[in-house]
């Protein structure tokens, strides 16, 4: 049997397994939105922890972390370690409050909470639209990752475009069959698979080229490029990454609704701790592979790998993101490569399924149900959400085949969008005696922050001729600064909100501190 056949067969086996889980999840689905999207608010620790952890880590963690390590070295580790700890802590601080409010008031989407607190249908609409649009960047990222994984895993026999489409459709199918219940269930499988896979890949690939282990790897890196072993990112880049990936990402709908699904606050507390441990330790083996790739790229090994192989991958895939998949496919046994690349696919699909599910949810509930057909039956809403889910998958795939660039950069755009909800969310879940932000302030802050973010990002504003910043994460942080200033000023010059809603939220949230 040829190597690529064995590798592809295992990836196919993994896909069949996911669809099977989707089918089983679908059979226990109760045909109402609350069960379809938030598991009737009964998810326990293992499900919530692995759903949050595996959804947070995507093609970003498995593929682009290696690519960024190979080009900028341990700078990525220092920043990533800091932002995942921030994600866990912030996830607890806001997740617990979102959970309590969701349970008390039957919220399903992020817009449910914001529109209720600010008593504004405009905020519901803007939240749904802005989140759905920014999420496209994240869906594109997973489509890119899946295309790379199956294309390389099949030895190039399945071209990138078709490879991406096939795996995108598989994720869409199992979410369509089983709803977000399927996504939660597959997240458990995927979370375990991708974690084991990344550690095996890291250890095997490192020892293959550096049999004496880490000291030999470090010496080799020091010889080819010592800058890879120190912090080379500027402080503002470090700060922006911590803010955007640590806080902004957690505010995107696919993670937000995970907190609605939790059974109790104990589940959220310990899943936050587990999330920090899982997410941060995940970046240790990818560092080894990335640094090993940097050495191989500089020196090459005759008959094994050519110097400058990363440049060749950039020509084929439009970015350095293919480094990890290339290393796995070429330097491990074909059967193991299949297992490891299935782990990489798991990383991408565990995020993709949640994004497709949550985006179709917010568009169905916050736009279709509110503004198109308010008397639609539950059955019709589920059907509409499935059509929207498939549509968003195709939109993501369409942009992915244009090979838009490094996953690390594109992901930042989506997270920067999530970050623009921070001021409005904080005011809602931390009610204060004085309301610093009212509905006009929240609305204008979200709009201005989002616009500043996309106009300063190279991938959007750059193409429109606007002056851009170094990285979309920095665009998001600058957008947040504009957002806060505008929200506070507009709130100060418009009428203050009534006290009743703050009192209501305070009464619900008192449980969070007692």
Binding site for other proteins (CB under 8 A): 74, 77-78, 81-82, 85-86, 88-89, 92, 213-219, 222, 226-227, 229-231, 235, 238-239, 242, 265, 269-270, 272-273, 276-277, 280, 430-433, 499-500, 502-503, 506-507, 509-510, 512-514
Greatest CA separation for the chain: 73
How far is it, in rounded angstroms, from Cα 397 to Cα 141?
9
∠ at Cα 112 (439, 103), nearest 5°? 125
Q: At its nearest, how many Å lie between other proteins and the CB of residue 118?
A: 17
Residue with Cβ nearer other proteins (181 or 258): 258
Residue with Cβ nearer other proteins (91 or 178): 91
Structural contact between residues 420 and 453, judged by C-beta atoms closer than 8 angstroms: yes
Residue with Cβ nearer other proteins (265 or 316): 265
Residue with Cβ nearer other proteins (18 or 237): 237
With CA atoms as reference, report the closest residue to 200 among 302, 456, 464, 192. Answer: 192
Structural contact between residues 98 and 272, judged by C-beta atoms closer than 8 angstroms: no
**Residues contacting 137, CB < 8 A, separation 6+:** 410, 411, 413, 414, 417
How far is it, in rounded angstroms, from Cα 344 to Cα 59?
7
Residue with Cβ nearer other proteins (56 or 193): 56
The dihedral built from the CA positions of residue 363, 367, 372 and 377, taken in this order, carries a sign that is positive
The dihedral built from the CA positions of residue 476, 477, 482 and 486, taken in this order, carries a sign that is positive
How far is it, in rounded angstroms, from Cα 148 to Cα 345?
10
Q: Output the CA–CA distances (angstroms, integers) from residue 430 to 93, 97, 103, 265, in the order listed.
A: 10, 8, 17, 17
Residue with Cβ nearer other proteins (17 or 89): 89
Which residue, chain included where needed, has tokens 């920090």? Answer: 276
Assigned token pair, 378:
């539950």
**Residues contacting 117, CB < 8 A, separation 6+:** 427, 428, 501, 505
Residue with Cβ nearer other proteins (464 or 513): 513
Q: At its nearest, how many Å lie between other proteins and the CB of residue 50?
A: 18
Residue with Cβ nearer other proteins (236 or 380): 236
H/E run at residue 261: helix 253-261
Quick one: how far is CA 148 from the chain centroid? 18
Residue with Cβ nearer other proteins (143 or 419): 419
Q: At its nearest, how many Å lie between other proteins and the CB of residue 245?
A: 14
Structural contact between residues 175 and 393, judged by C-beta atoms closer than 8 angstroms: no
Helix axes 334-363, 160-209, angle to 10 degrees: 130
Residue with Cβ nearer other proteins (318 or 497): 497
With CA atoms as reference, report the closest residue to 147 among 169, 120, 173, 167. Answer: 167
- What are the beta bridge partners of residue 305? 301
Query: Where does residue 230 rank: exposed (0-12), middle (13-18), buried (19+ CB within 10 A)?
Result: exposed
Residue with Cβ nearer other proteins (27 or 433): 433
With CA atoms as reference, report the closest residue to 71 among 390, 352, 290. Answer: 290
Residue with Cβ nearer other proteins (78 or 189): 78
Assigned token pair, 20:
């099977």
Q: At its nearest, how many Å lie between other proteins and the CB of residue 435?
A: 10
Structural contact between residues 241 and 75, judged by C-beta atoms closer than 8 angstroms: no
Q: At its nearest, how many Å lie between other proteins and the CB of residue 40?
A: 24
């Amino acid at each position: 049997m040829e190597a690529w056949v064995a590798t592809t067969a295992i990836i196919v086996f993994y896909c069949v397994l996911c669809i099977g889980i989707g089918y089983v999840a679908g059979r226990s689905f109760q045909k109402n939105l609350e069960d379809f999207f938030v598991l009737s608010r009964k998810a326990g620790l293992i499900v919530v922890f692995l759903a949050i952890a595996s959804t947070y880590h995507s093609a970003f963690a498995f593929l682009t972390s290696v690519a960024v390590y190979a080009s900028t070295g341990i700078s990525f580790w220092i920043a990533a370690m800091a932002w995942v700890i921030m994600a866990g802590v912030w996830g607890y601080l806001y997740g617990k409050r979102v959970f309590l409010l969701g349970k008390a008031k039957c919220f399903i989407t992020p817009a449910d909470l914001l529109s209720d607190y600010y008593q504004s249908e405009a905020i519901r609409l803007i939240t749904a639209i802005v989140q759905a649009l920014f999420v496209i960047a994240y869906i594109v990222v997973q489509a890119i990752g899946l295309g790379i994984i199956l294309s390389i895993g099949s030895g190039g026999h399945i071209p990138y475009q078709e490879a991406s489409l096939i795996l995108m459709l598989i994720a869409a199918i199992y979410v369509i069959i089983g709803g977000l219940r399927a996504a939660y269930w597959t997240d458990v499988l995927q979370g375990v698979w991708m974690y084991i896979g990344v550690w095996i890949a890291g250890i095997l690939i490192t020892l293959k080229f550096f049999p004496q282990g880490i000291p030999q790897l470090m010496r080799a890196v020091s010889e080819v490029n010592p800058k890879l072993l120190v912090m080379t990112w500027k402080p503002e880049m470090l700060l922006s990454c911590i803010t955007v990936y640590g806080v902004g990402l957690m505010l995107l709908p696919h993670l937000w609704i995970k907190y609605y699904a939790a059974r109790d606050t104990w589940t959220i507390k310990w899943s936050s701790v587990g999330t920090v441990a899982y997410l941060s330790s995940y970046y240790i083996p990818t560092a080894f592979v990335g640094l090993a790739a940097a050495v191989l790229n500089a020196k090459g090994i005759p008959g094994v790998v050519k110097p400058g192989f990363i440049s060749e991958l950039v020509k084929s895939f439009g970015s350095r993101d293919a480094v990890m998949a290339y290393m796995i496919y070429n330097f491990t046994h074909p059967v193991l490569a299949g297992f490891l690349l299935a782990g990489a696919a798991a990383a991408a699909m565990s995020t993709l399924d949640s994004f497709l599910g949550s985006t179709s949810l917010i568009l169905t509930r916050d736009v279709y149900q509110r503004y198109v057909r308010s008397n639609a039956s539950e059955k019709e809403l589920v059907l509409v959400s499935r059509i929207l889910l498939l549509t968003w998958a195709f939109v993501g795939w369409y942009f992915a085949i244009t090979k838009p660039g490094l996953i690390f950069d594109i992901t930042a755009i989506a997270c920067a969008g999530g970050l623009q909800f921070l001021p409005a969310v904080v005011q809602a879940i931390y009610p204060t005696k004085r309301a610093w932000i009212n509905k006009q302030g929240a609305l204008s802050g979200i709009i201005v922050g989002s616009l500043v973010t996309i106009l300063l990002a190279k991938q959007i504003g750059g193409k429109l001729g606007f002056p851009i910043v170094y990285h979309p994460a920095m665009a998001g942080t600058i957008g947040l600064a504009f957002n806060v200033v505008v929200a506070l000023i507009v709130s100060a010059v418009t009428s203050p909100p009534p006290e009743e809603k703050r009192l209501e939220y305070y009464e619900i949230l008192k449980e969070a501190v007692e």
